Amino acid sequence: MLGSLKLLLQVAFRNLLKSKVNIIIGGIIFFPSCLVVTGGALLDSIDSSMSRSIIGSLSGHLQVYSDKSKEELALFGGMQGEADIAAIDSFAPIKAALEKHPNVRTVVPMGTNSALIPSGNTVDLTLARLRDLYRRAGAEGEKPELRAQLDSLKAHVRQLANLLHSEQETRRVLMRDEEREPAEEAALEKARSEAFWADFDKDPLASLEFLENELAPQAADGDLLYIHYVGTDLEAFQKSFDRMRIVDGQAVPRGKRGMLLSKYFYEEFLKLKTARRMDLIKQERDTNKKTIATDPLLQRYVKENSTQTREIVYQLDPLKTQQATARLQELLGSQEKDLARLLNAFLAVNDENFDARYKQFYEQLVPLLDLYRIRLGDTLTITAFSRTGYVQSVNVPIYGTYEFSGLEKSPLAGNSSLMDMISFRELYGYLTEDKKEEIAQLKTRSGAAEVKREDAEASLFGESAPSALVADATPGLINENEQISDTGAAQRNENLLQHVYSQKEIEGGMVLSAALILKDPTKLDATLAELQQSQEVKDLKLRVVSWQQAAGLFGQFVTMMRMVLWGIIVILFVVVLAIINNAVMMATMQRVKEVGTMRAIGARRSFILSMVLLETVVLGLVFGGLGAGVGSGLITWLHNVGIPAGSEEMYFFFSGPRLMPVLAPSNIIAAFALVVGVSLFSTLYPAFMAMRVSPVTAMQTDE
């Protein structure tokens, strides 16, 4: 037996490169085997990287949400606030039940929603600061330093009015048929007049109201910003997701209302546009080695910076305008006095002067400007539609910015800001303890009679119906038809921001979902199956899903790519099978005399069958091995150098700026299994044909 095998192997290796047909077959086998190894390793690596991004940035290893939900949870492919995800009335029992599982380390409450927030134009922001100073002057007395700040801001507003007038005059010249509203023109003239500013301090609040209502709407540099936020237990979130880190400012103090803006969102949408474009140019030049001279995108950034200087000019009061003009004159060696023209020349950068101009921009100009439209420490008013469709507003202090390590440039990971759970519930439309207390006070002050729901009709329409009635509301839900007014709203808001909520209050209210962090992630599938079969989880009417399902469409990305890859591989191997079959058939026909001779000297049919099959298997193993070897070498090289993320979106799939592919044994095993299987299958028919060759027929001469 061993002797026959040795002989067959000798014949197989002797014939390996003897025929050109074998070389062609080998080349055909080489490419698919290389593709199986490289493609499989790349997809496995992307799958692993993307799972780290999703698990580490929002979803955790598992997610739970209400089984009453009409749609599936999609943390990245959609939004809970817009999808039909049913709310869980209380997080506390959910947490207690899930943490009983020995592999669950922690459970983090969550809910996501979105809102539009006004960023305010330059006039609005300047007037708001001026109003705050007048309030301080009224409370603390008019100190010399306050008077200096007041005069500076008043001069700034007056300059803004002059700039608006100049812009409108320019538009009138360029667009001759443009008609201006007489009321707007009259308001602008009043805001520029000496008489208005001479009488400003006689009634500053009335003067400010006029400017806010009549002047600010004429400045068109403000816009609405779309903000996506996640309500959560901020302390538990930071402890559970170890990739999260505070970049600017500080964490929200324990138990207090507050928000952490995503660093990506803060830079992309709230930063001075000129500064952001300068940052992007520097990033592309330093990281991706692009040049302004050859890259159209960088050229566009330069053009926008040099032509769109209005945002900078509007921010500068008269004193800062003089300082900026003097600094730019010195930097450019120019005597030009028009600030807009100086900015145009300064920001028209090229590859030779960009690094110097970038440094000068941040050293000389940025100290005179508000670099961000919302500053850390500001209180942001977020207005969103509640679950039942009415508008709800909440004031939330901005404590800082955060990001996930390795995902700093990813729009997907950087899309969500973090909000405390109490504020989220209030925006979502659920009664917090503060709201319940406020409603109780209103009931007491109004003297409203409280009746049960079943008695409401008789109380409302009966003969003894009282003049004011309050009906029981659905537990937890705010009644949008109930009008609430409070003369001490400002004081109440301040009290809410100072209030420290207990852990019981944070965990006792509603959530939309919860993230589960496991002690041993390798047991994810087993833990998922056990929780799904848990009677306690079923009693709580919860769905438990993996991170991949919770991520929505993005979680299925690698699965879809894997299907595409294997579709290509199957097509290739079908073609390979057909080619090998025909090639081996031709080679077998050319060896009819050789086979006949072997049969004549005593070779059995099984020997001929084994010989043909083994020759093809050896051919497949050798060339398949070469393909797998080349693929393995390519993956090893890529692991050392990394594959750069070509776009910000790819940062999320690569879990960082570069993908470091890793070769798994399964990739090589899959390649060899496919090669051997296809080789054997494609050779079966030619081998059976060779086995049936008659020695007499095979040894006949051509004559």
296 against 164, higher pLDDT: 296
Of the listed ranges 136-145, 247-256, 293-302, the least confidently predicted one is 136-145
pLDDT range class, residue 470, cuts 50, 70, 90: very low
Flag whether pLDDT at 273 surpasses 70.
yes
Of 561 and 292, more confident: 292
Alpha-carbon distance values, 569 to 26, 35, 617, 652 (Å): 16, 8, 19, 27
- Which pLDDT belongs to residue 476? 45
The number of residues in the chain equals 703
432 pLDDT above the threshold of 60: no
The pLDDT value recorded for residue 689 is 65
Q: Is the pLDDT of residue 701 over 60?
A: no
Mean of pLDDT values over 224-228: 83
Q: What's the longest Cα–Cα distance across the chain?
A: 127
Between residues 483 and 273, the one the model is more confident about: 273
Residue 597 — very low, low, confident or very high, per pLDDT cuts 50/70/90?
low
Q: State mean pLDDT over 206-224.
A: 78
For residue 443, the model assigns a pLDDT of 61
8 vs 280, more confident: 280
Higher-confidence residue of 257 and 483: namely 257
Average pLDDT over residues 511-537: 93
Average pLDDT over residues 388-403: 87
Name the residue ranges covered by the structural domains of the chain.
2-52+556-690, 85-119+223-270+372-448+505-523, 126-218, 287-369
pLDDT of 585 > 60? The answer is yes
Helices and strands in the chain, H and E counts: 30, 14
Nearest to 271 by CA among 303, 312, 323: 312
Cα separation, 161 vs 211, in Å, equals 10
Query: What digits encode the pLDDT tens for the residues 33-49?
Result: 888 888 888 888 888 88
Question: For the chain, how big is the Rg over CA atoms in Å?
Answer: 37
With cut-offs at 50, 70 and 90, classify the pLDDT of residue 471. very low
pTM recorded for the entire structure: 0.74
Q: Give per-residue pLDDT as tens, 475-507.
A: 444 444 444 443 455 556 666 677 889 999 899
Between 394 and 590, residue with greater pLDDT? 394
pLDDT at 101: 93
C-alpha–C-alpha distance, residues 703 and 227, integer Å: 89
Average pLDDT over residues 248-270: 92
Model pLDDT, residue 480? 40
Count CA within 13 A, CB hemisphere, residue 33: 30
Q: Residue 229: what residue type?
A: Y
Taking only the tens place, the pLDDT of each residue in 185-210 is: 888 888 888 888 888 888 888 888 88
Average pLDDT, the chain: 79
268-282, 483-497, 679-693: range with lowest mean pLDDT? 483-497
Tokens of 445: 């002050």
pLDDT of residue 457: 57
Q: How far apart are CA 376 and CA 361, in angstroms?
A: 22
Q: What is the predicted pLDDT for the residue at 558?
A: 65
Q: Is the model's pLDDT at 582 over the cut of 50?
A: yes
pLDDT at 309 exceeding the cut of 60: yes
Distance CA 651, CA 657 (A): 6
The residue among 629 and 481 whose pLDDT is bigger is 629
Percent residues over pLDDT 70 in the chain? 75
Q: Give the H or E element holding residue 670.
A: helix 665-691
Predicted local confidence at residue 473, as pLDDT: 42
φ, ψ for residue 381 (rounded to 5)? -90, 115
- In order of 16, 619, 677, the CA distances from 13 in angstroms are 5, 8, 19
**CA pair distance 662, 643, nearest whole angstrom:** 12
Work out the average pLDDT over 48-68.
88
Q: What is the pLDDT of residue 625?
A: 84
Instruction: Indicate if the pLDDT at residue 28 is higher than 70.
Output: yes
Which residue from 518, 545, 517, 540 is spatially nearest to 529, judged by alpha carbons? 545
What average pLDDT does this structure show over 324-332?
A: 94
